[in-house]
Amino acid sequence: MEAELQTHVAFHLTGRRPAAGLDAVDALLLTPALFARYRDLTRLRYDFPLVLVRNPVPGSCAQPLCGLLDRVLQEIGDGDDGERVSRHVLRLERQIRTLVGEGVRGSVASLWDAAADRLSVRTDPSLQDSLKRARSALKIEGEIVDCDAAMPAALFTHAWRVVQERRAKKLAGDISRLAVKLSEILRADFARSDAGRSAGSLRASIGDAHGGSFDFDAMSRLLTKAAPKSAMPPKRRQRIEWLLSVLEAQAFVPVAGKRGPAYTFAFDSCTAAVAAYRERYSKVTELAKAIAIAELEIKGEYREAAHGDYFAAYGSDGLDPEELALFPDYLVCLNAAALDAVESATLLELLSAGLPIKVLVQSDDILEESQLGDGHLSFGTKSRQLANMAIGLSEVFVLQSAASNLVQVRDRIERGLAYAGPALFSVFSGATGNAGELSAYLVAAAAMESRAFPAFTFDPSAGTDWASRFDLGSNPQIDRDWPLHEFTYETPEHQRAGEEVAFTLVHFVACDRRYTRHFARVPRADWNAKMVPVGESLAREQKGLPETIPTLLMVDAGNLLQKVLVDDKVMREARRYREMWHSLQELGGVHNSHAERLLARERKAQDERERAIAEARGLEPAPQPAAAAAAPAVSAAAAAAAAAPEPSPDEAYIETARCTSCNECTKINDKLFAYNENKQAYIANPDAGTYAQLVEAAESCQVSIIHPGKPRNANEPGVAELMQRAEAFR
């Protein structure tokens, strides 16, 4: 044991594996044990595939396929044959997921047809009937995408188009309205002029049908003598004609009956976008000025003396963000790997200048080694610097998220794209190419879970303080250093065992084949009590030589549990990331050191006040229970959870503390499932829904924390099959 410990300590400190006693992990194809149940994503209902919805309502430009089908089933799955229809639709959904996993892309309709063909729908009348009914209830169409390297740009481009179309529609409507009103002013003036009252003009205005009944020469003489002459000064006429020429020549948005816009606004480099913006700036200013003057003209409020100088200098100091917000924004989709010095400088320039440009920077690799080389680890520096710099500019909308989480923040994506000013979206795709068989979705989710790439939003339009602007809420278990997960497995003795595992940066690094040298497998016979989980090791203060060695539970290709030692280099990096996470927590108002210091000061002052009052009354102050005085405030929910009895496996329950607030269950039935004050789900009323909904929610829950228990209504249709499905969640 002592010799083994020495070997393990030596590896941990030096990262050098001895010739015997520890195995290299390169060829073992290990993945963190927590991923074991996610190996085959086609079996899981989760946020992908994703539908990029055509003509969406605000906030729903992208929707998970499974969510769309759930709504279809809610609509048609209530009848006697509801269970059969549900089963068939879920089979179809899985088939679509398989097709997408194989790289097939297309619209919902085309993938639906392809999946139905694979299920041999033509030879099964009941399947044909189920799918026909489901198809007619599915009112949404759009392209289907998977969580891969191409998805972030596809999703942002789609969401950007949706936002731009709304904006373009408004601008085109304004331009048409102004052009019509201005033309009417000119027409009315012409009608009062000599030319307008000429016999030819009068004849043209009446038309051929009644032309024979009138003496246009007599009418013209009469009108010319009786009516006043044109009242429009030539300068005004020229101004209105100029306004009309600008409105009609604009090339920013398509206007009904006019030629389409000549400009494109989507670019793949900041340099090109800024050049286009500069080149068009005089046209934007001219159009904004024309719109402002036209509004005054049609109300009859334009005064040369009052407005002439103002409009002569219009736009010379740049347009306000609100004025620019009338026009299409620019979109730039970049890959961080292509961000050279020129692009980086241009990006910084456009963000700090407040240009109306939305930039997506996609990172495919956040575990690149430090530029210092020589084995130095310094992960994710580029994307982190970029986001920090943008936040520091204070007027830039910033959203950072792993690709796996983009569905959850789609409303914020739309908000950022509609923001009147620059926006930076930093996204980690998960498509590293270095994670072996792990899907990009799992790698992206692991980056967020391990705090390697936390999600946050900085929205300058949300308020003036950090509490309003900065949001960290979509990260899992934000008040912890590392999210905790229940891990159960079967022992060699075929017993069920379980433990709580903290998912740390080390787990994320262990997914990357480039860093296998930092890990070493310990043969099962050598497992000992000095090998402790990484999470536990990170929680301990490190002093002197280690007495325990951090280990990671992993599984091999055959799902056999393995333990690997972790070297100190990776552990140090994990501690560094934990410190960065602490800084983010503070910005997000979690464990804020200023607030906690203030709270402690207030508590102390309160104690002193109570002591002084007690002394004045000649009473002994009530002793403070030390733990209660020192303990941080605990939420009512946490206290209730601590006091709660062990739930019965027969009753439906949710492991509320582990809820990631993904909305899946509440979308299924918001009476049955509800959120507590921490926005974590619980069973609000078990009688407010069906057992089928409980089972469906359990299957939809990405973290598998919904336990449907036993059915309350033994006569519910399909209860036997539902109970079978619920077995997986007992």
| Closer residue to ligand SF4, CB minimum distance, 13 or 703 | 703
Give the separation between CA 432 and CA 512, rounded to whole angstroms. 8
E strands in 18-111: 23-24, 31-32, 50-53, 62-64, 106-107
| Secondary structure element (H or E) that encloses residue 97, with its range | helix 82-101
- Specify the residue, 365 or 449, whose C-beta has the smaller distance to ligand SF4: 449
Closer to ligand SF4 by Cβ: residue 325 or 684: 684
Distance between the two ends of the chain, CA-based, in angstroms? Answer: 39
Please state the closest distance from residue 720 (CB atom) to ligand SF4, in A: 24
Task: Check: CB of residue 412 under 8 Å from CB of residue 469.
Answer: no
**What is the closest distance, in whole angstroms, from the C-beta atom of residue 665 to ligand SF4 in the complex?**
3
Least CB distance to ligand SF4 at residue 679 (A) = 9
CB 528 within 8 A of CB 4: yes
Shortest Cβ 449–ligand SF4 spacing (Å): 13
Report, in Å, the least distance between residue 703 CB and ligand SF4: 5
The least distance separating ligand SF4 from the CB of residue 411, rounded to whole angstroms, comes to 16
Residue 723 CB, shortest distance to ligand SF4, in Å, is 20
AA letter at 294: A
Residue found under tokens 């598998």: 704
Report the nearest approach of ligand SF4 to the CB of residue 356 (Å): 36
List the structure tokens of 85: 């229809």
> Which run of H or E residues covers position 165?
helix 151-192
Q: Return the number of the residue (22 or 705) whose C-beta is nearest ligand SF4.
A: 705
Separation between Cα atoms, residue 86 and residue 689, nearest integer Å: 16
CB of residue 471 to ligand SF4, shortest distance in Å: 18
How many Cβ atoms sit within 10 Å of the Cβ of residue 241?
A: 12
Shortest spacing between CB 654 and ligand SF4, in angstroms: 5
Helix (H, G, I), strand (E, B) or coil at 632: coil
Pick 178 or 409: Cβ nearer ligand SF4: 409
Token digits of residue 638: 């946490």
Given the DSSP bridges, would you call strands 673-675 and 549-555 parallel, antiparallel or unpaired?
unpaired
Q: What residues pair up with 357 in beta bridges, in sequence order? A: 330
Nearer to ligand SF4, 274 or 402 (CB): 402
Q: How many beta carbons lie within 10 A of that of residue 400, not counting itself?
A: 28
CB 658 → ligand SF4: shortest distance, Å?
8
Question: In the complex with ligand SF4, which residue's Cβ is closer, 128 or 663?
Answer: 663
Residue 654 contacts residue 708 (beta carbons within 8 Å): no
The tokens describing 715, both together, are: 């006569």
Token code pair at residue 322? 């609100």
How many beta carbons lie within 10 A of that of residue 622, not counting itself?
Answer: 9
Name residue 640's amino acid. Answer: A
Nearer to ligand SF4, 573 or 664 (CB): 664
Q: How many CB atoms lie within 10 A of CB 655?
A: 18
Nearer to ligand SF4, 172 or 695 (CB): 695
Choose between 162 and 683: whose C-beta lies nearer to ligand SF4: 683
Binding site for ligand SF4 (CB under 6 A): 654, 659-665, 681, 700-701, 703, 705-706
- Containing 145, the helix (H) or strand (E) segment is strand 142-145
On whether the CB atoms of residues 31 and 554 are closer than 8 A, the answer is yes
- Identify each DSSP E strand in 294-350 by its residue range: 330-335
- Residue 110 or 666 with smaller CB distance to ligand SF4: 666
